[in-house]
Amino acid sequence: MTVPTTAAAQRDAREATDVLGAWAAGLEWADVPADAQERMRLVLLDSLGVTVLGARQAEQRALVTAWRPADGPAPLPGAGRCTTVEAAAWLNAAALVRLELDEGHKFAKGHPGAHGLPAVLALAADLRATGPDTAAALVVAYEVAARFGRATSLPPGAHPHGSWGVAGAAAGCARLLGLSSAGLAAAIDTGAGLPVAGSFASALDGNPVRDAWMGASNVSGLVAARMASAGVARNTGTAASSLGGVLGTFDAAPLTAELGTRWDVRHGYFKRHASCSFTHPVADAVLALRPELPGDVGEVEEILVETHSLGAALDRTTWDSRLAALFSTPFVAAAALVHGHVGPDVSAQPVRDDPRVRELAARVTVRVAADLDARLPHERAARVTVRSGGRAHGCEVPNPIGDAAHHPLSEADVLGLLSDWLADDATVAAVRDVATGLPAVPDVRPLLQRLV
């Protein structure tokens, strides 16, 4: 049911977007605090590495072949070629999220980076933008997306991919185009009017349309920025009726709260498990318990997972695709116990059909615990109890390892994960060099093209 938008709500959205546009237009890389700069480089390192990994998957290679992308200036990392800005923005975004390894943000309730970083990088390669301008645009894309994520409350059953984050993609691309404050605001507002209404059931069903929503976000961000550059976009407070009203509810206040003092890029999380973030505390708890459990998983009688309401729907004990497995808490718990990790390989064929994993997953029960629910959004906790041989083994974790507020991952940690997943030292070194060196180069195109 669509909720009518009040004039006051539309005015608040318009005015907040004006303020956000002025901030984004004026931001320089040198203005970003050193720790936020370092975190942005780490987000870029992780995102580029995961994009290369996603690009190497058979499904992504088939998608690129079917797309038949024209030659162009923008690289497809890991795919061995360059293509047009729009094709790179879409295909790289899909590769980035394909294995559920992209960086995320619990307060934004989704993935600010993946919504716009591929578009900004593709456009930067086309424009031969400087490193400082590109780095500033990446920060703008992330921060604006995160603030729109905080401002938007989607209804139960909605997936966050491709909705509130389009505004961030638009902002980053508009900043790269050097638009004025008014132009930035118009681009952001237009991006807020181009959301996808995605169902979480698609992810649970293993439908890759979920990946396409991120591709759409990045291309829509380019569209919004170009409309603003052409002077045909306006800021009318669209978010109040699109993200609010039609898709959910929208409160404009978070768009400008602590603007310039709170850097949301500092507060995200990196993933060490290839699965939905709601399953990560479960995997961490199972791995912590694993040394005290019997070596034969057939002796495990039950695994009880208590979680928060956001993770309640991830309770399916069967799966028929990789994506469906990545969104199954029973799969993740069973795979962690059987294999000792939840890396990308455990959800690939034929490993995901290991009889030990399927049989153990059938003995996993997922329940919502009110006490864990009450700790949202600061904690995304899980409590796991494994019953075996008449004994109960329990472990509770407040947040997944990798969360900025709970065992954050360092650059060495991220590089270690990428080395394990890619098994290619030369590629990992290239990704590291691009992420580290990008903010200082006079022209980002040659640097980014090292990743093909």
Which H or E run includes 158?
A: strand 158-159
Strands 198-199 and 249-250: unpaired
Q: Does domain 7-271+422-451 have CATH number 1.10.4100.10?
A: yes
Q: Do 7-271+422-451 and 277-397 show the same overall fold? A: no
**In the chain, which stretches have pLDDT less than 50?**
none
pLDDT at 4: 72
DSSP string for 332-401: HHHHHHHHS---GGGGSTTGGG-HHHHHHHTTEEEEE-HHHHTTTTT---EEEEEEETTEEEEEEESS-T
pLDDT at 5: 77
pLDDT at 395: 98
Q: Where are the domains of the chain?
A: 7-271+422-451, 277-397
What is the rounded CA–CA span in Å between residue 425 and residue 433? 12
162 backbone dihedrals φ, ψ, rounded to 5° = 80, 10
pLDDT digit string, tens, across residues 356-394: 999 999 999 999 999 999 999 999 999 999 999 889 999
pLDDT at 109: 96
What is the rounded CA–CA span in Å between residue 110 and residue 208? 17
Superfamily grouping for domain 277-397? 2-methylcitrate dehydratase PrpD (3.30.1330.120)
250 backbone dihedrals φ, ψ, rounded to 5° = -140, 130
pLDDT at 394: 97
201: burial class by Cβ within 10 Å (0-12, 13-18, 19+)? middle
Smallest Cα–Cα separation from 34: which of 265, 203, 200? Answer: 265
pLDDT at 108: 97
Q: pTM of the full predicted structure?
A: 0.97
Strands 152-153 and 158-159: unpaired
